Structure 1
Amino acid sequence: MDHIPADELPEVGKAAYAVCRDAADAGVFVFAGGLDPQQPTIVSPDGLVTDGPFPETKEFIGGLMVVDVPTREEALTWATRIAAACRCPQEVRRLGDGAATESTFR
């Protein structure tokens, strides 16, 4: 979000919060959060720890929002609202069928 002037960031934050609130009111909100703007740390299967991002990664991911919706179209509708609020493109992904919750490990 480095393309947004610093004086506009509070407005962007309020708009993003409003979309999260709307998703909660609609009963589809699961989780949202911003990511610290530091470079990620990459841990390889062999235990090697390096500063990221992955070589193929071109853009910084600033945060995420998880919604529980029945269709791709509804996910895209929420992504459109988030993109407008945050003033940046959104990546939409479906969680795999094996998604785990805390209750999975009890």
Structure 2
Amino acid sequence: MTKYLISFPSAAMQHLTADELQAADHDSREVVRAAKAAGVWVFGGGVDEGIAPVMVEGDGGVRDGTYPERTRLDGGFTVLEVPSREAALEWAARIAAACRCAQEVRAFMYDPES
């Protein structure tokens, strides 16, 4: 089975009204419950945009910021472990419908240790 990252940026939901956001929250939690019941849920959540990112060096040094080529990481994400790309796309469609925005799907490389 392969793990997939299903994600969207915060801007993808900016068109929603307060009522639509509340409905999206409810509907997305239903999809999470379904993924857990199906045994494919690994992890998910939203990036806390109120906390600035930092870089941690190998020596433990910490500095503000991110990699220069990285503009920002925000929005929500889900990691699922499913038997096929087609299954990942089906779950992404369910998440897209619940969140009212398109989802980006990426496969993680196989790692026997994870």
TM-score by length of 2: 0.67
* Number of the residue aligned with 1:94: 107
Deviation at 1:10, TM superposition (A): 1.6
Distance 1:72 1:57 in 2: 27
Deviation at residue 51 of structure 1 after TM alignment: 3.0
Aligned 1:1-80 pairs, distance under 5 A: 1-2=10-11, 3=14, 4-38=16-50, 40-42=53-55, 49-52=63-66, 60-80=73-93
**Shift, 1:17, TM fit:** 0.4
Gaps of at least 5 residues in structure 1 are 102-106
Coordinate RMSD, CA, aligned? 2.5
Shift of 1:57: 5.3
Inter-partner Cα distance in structure 2 for 1:59 and 1:85: 24
TM-score by length of 1: 0.71
Moved over 4 A (4+): 42-45, 54-60
What runs of 5+ residues in structure 2 fail to find an aligned partner?
A: 1-9
Asked if 1:84 corresponds to 2:97, the answer is yes
